[in-house]
Chain A
Amino acid sequence: MAYDKFTKITSPAVPLPIENVDTDQIIPARFLKAIERKGFGDNLFRDWRYEKDGSPKSDFPLNNNIYSGKILVAGKNFGSGSSREHAAWAIYDYGFRVVVSSFFADIFKGNALNNGLLPVVVTPEFLQKIFTTIEKDVNTTFEVDLEKQIFTISATNDTIDFEINSYKKHCLQNGLDDIDYLVDMKEEIAAFEKDN
């Protein structure tokens, strides 16, 4: 799936200070009936975002228009549970390009990276600092520099390095996906099959 190339993002952030946000909350199962990858952003966090009658819940951060930006900041163990890639699609489709947390579930992390969504792992202390900074000023911005692998709180110039393996970094920077890579390996794969 093609996605936008990722270089550097400077943006305010939307706080979601909840732990163990599982993929059933990110996109409930009843929205997985699509056969195309379209429109999942509308149902992102559906049951936390909307009342049963479809009206928005005013206390949910995504409905609070003081918050904006391409960065979602969430409590620890984000993306646990179901392997549904629809969770990453929904977050991307809504307009986020980065999710920050102190801990991500494995499958979610892989799915995000395969879809141009950058998961940034920070320490629990740094995560708290981000939440506090947003609390003080909702318009405060953060900088995500993929090349240097640095996340910066612009207001205080607090920075933290983040990890990403060099292959995935290259993919994100160039909007490439693994399938292109694998298809190019056809002969090596055929040789492996012959030997095994």
Chain B
Amino acid sequence: MTVKTLFDKIWDAHVVKKVEGGPNVLYIDRHLIHEVTSPVAFLGLKNRGLKVLRPEKTTATPDHNVPTINQHLSVKDELSRHQLEMLKTNCTENGIVHHDLGTEGHGVVHIIGPEMGLTQPGMTIVCGDSHTSTHGAFGAIAFGIGTSEVEMVFASQCIMQPKPKKMKITVNGTLAKGVTAKDIALYIISKISTSGGTGHFIEYTGSAITGLSMEGRMTLCNLSIECGARGGMIAPDEITFEYVKGREFAPKGADWDKAVAKWKELKTDDDAVFDTELIYDAADIEPMITFGTNPGMGIGISKNIPTTEGMEGSDKSSFEKSLQYMGFGAGDKIEGKPVDYVFLGSCTNGRIEDFREFTEFVKGKKKAPNITAWLVPGSKQVENQIRAEGLISILEDAGFQLRQPGCSACLAMNDDKIPAGKYSVSTSNRNFEGRQGPGARTLLASPITAAAAAISGVISDPRK
């Protein structure tokens, strides 16, 4: 028997055909869709006179566009409303389950998948959204696709993809207090840059990784795409099974035992070879924050913004352009920099543990008066749990309010836009120019670091 990586095992089991001189035809177990990247695909399908081939393998929810207040009212923005209506109509016409705004199943697509048990080990999962990599936390192959590919899955339940290369990232050791999965991810991206993972699929291993909760694993895998990788995955273990067990779409009874027996085989064989291997030590990681306009421009919070020493040509000019956009100087200390907005949410950090960590930090303190804080749960279930666990009153006592689920300021397609020139400490995943609104300046960080900024009113080290 040939030795295989975890990735190989799942990929190879889903190849329907290898096209001569071309990609593999890959079977897709789970397709998640939302309002932004699906309408053109539905239209294409209709124009070909086709219907969705396997509607039961597709699940829909509107998230990118939705308002995060007054969701019971009709959506004000006409274009958004139209897109939301199109999703609903297209789902009805094709027999796809649609978790509409305000319903118990609603939320950001990458939050509701795992929550409902739609995400399971060994699956191939795609969605027209790059952060589909989130689901890799369960030992699944999950990646973002373009709209043409959404149409392919609709038409055939398959896509055509060349098999990517394999990368192994090991993080050993124990994380220090105040250091989270988000910090591991930002640390790795700062080391290998936003293109370091291009062409690869990552498997994360090591004691610092297996020590993470499912939610932490999702945060880490979510950010795999930000180093350019197609996705990231973690071999399933007892923590995974425990999380999946009992969820709505998880196998039940004898099927459960059978599934777990199969899932236990999902690990990389001892002698399997990766194209690239990287090893890090958890002890080297401190709370991270970004200072520039891509997720690779991150530093430990106690550090200074790098200088341009040793940079040349376009590297240097890109760096300078980035700092100019941010209004920062090379060599500046990041701690103490001004903050105007704090955003807790997104498919990176909009789960219940993120809200617990944030709440734990702000408990008994008061939000700084200069800060506008947007706390956006990733799903209706998260929102319900925040209330059920009593986090809501702690947050309100500290001067915070809770909004309703959606992508919100992660990409600012709705009204949650950071004004031009303002600084936002954000738990989301992208600090590109204008990502949180035209001219907005984003600093990516963990929920704990975001909480520290919300309380002190400036960039602060949450460990102090």
Contacts and interface: CB of A to CB of B under 8 A. Distances in A.
A110 B157 CA distance: 18
Interface string B48-87: 1010000000000000110000000000010110110010
A178 interface: yes
B435 interface: yes
Given A17-B314, A47-B434, A111 B146 contact: yes
B129 interface: yes
B411 A80 contact: no
Contacts of A76: 195, 314
Interface in B314-338: 314-315, 318, 321
B411 A29 contact: yes
A140 to B, nearest CB: 21
A88 B145 CA distance: 13
B25 A185 contact: yes
Nearest to B296: A20
B243 interface: no
Interface string A159-185: 000000111100000000111011101
A60 B370 CA distance: 35
A93 interface: no
Interface stretch (B34-42, B170-178, B208-216): B34-42
B27 interface: yes
A32 B413 contact: yes
A80 B16 contact: no
A179 B438 contact: no
Interface in A62-87: 75-77, 80-86
Contact of B158 (A17, A75, A182): A182
Interface string A101-135: 00101110011001100000000000000000000
A36 interface: yes
A106 B230 contact: yes
B14 to A, nearest CB: 8
B298 interface: no
Contact of A24 (B16, B17, B161, B435): B435
A196 B122 CA distance: 13
Interface in B105-163: 128-130, 144-149, 151-152, 155-162
Given A81-B130, A81-B430, A179-B151, A20 B413 contact: no
A77 B37 contact: no
A168 B434 contact: no
Contacts of B19: 167, 181
Interface residues of A, number: 55
Contacts of B155: 179, 182-183
Given A35-B43, A83-B129, A192-B27, A183 B411 contact: no
A22 B228 CA distance: 11
A115 B149 CA distance: 11
B434 A182 contact: no
A114 B146 contact: yes
A136 interface: no
A30 B412 contact: yes
A171 B152 CA distance: 15
Contacts of A75: 314, 318
Given A19-B318, A37-B40, A83-B144, A185 B194 contact: no
A167 to B, nearest CB: 2
Contacts of B198: 77, 103, 105-106
Contact of B413 (A29, A186, A196): A29
A182 B17 CA distance: 10
9 contacts: A22-B294, A24-B435, A28-B438, A81-B130, A85-B146, A110-B149, A166-B22, A179-B148, A179-B155
Given A111-B146, A182-B156, 14 more contacts: A20-B318, A24-B430, A24-B433, A33-B77, A33-B82, A36-B39, A86-B147, A103-B195, A107-B230, A114-B149, A166-B21, A179-B155, A183-B156, A186-B156
Interface of B: 13, 16-17, 19-23, 25, 27, 36-37, 39-40, 43-44, 48, 50, 64-65, 77, 79-80, 82-83, 86, 128-130, 144-149, 151-152, 155-162, 164, 194-195, 198-199, 228, 230, 294, 314-315, 318, 321, 411-413, 420, 430, 432-435, 438
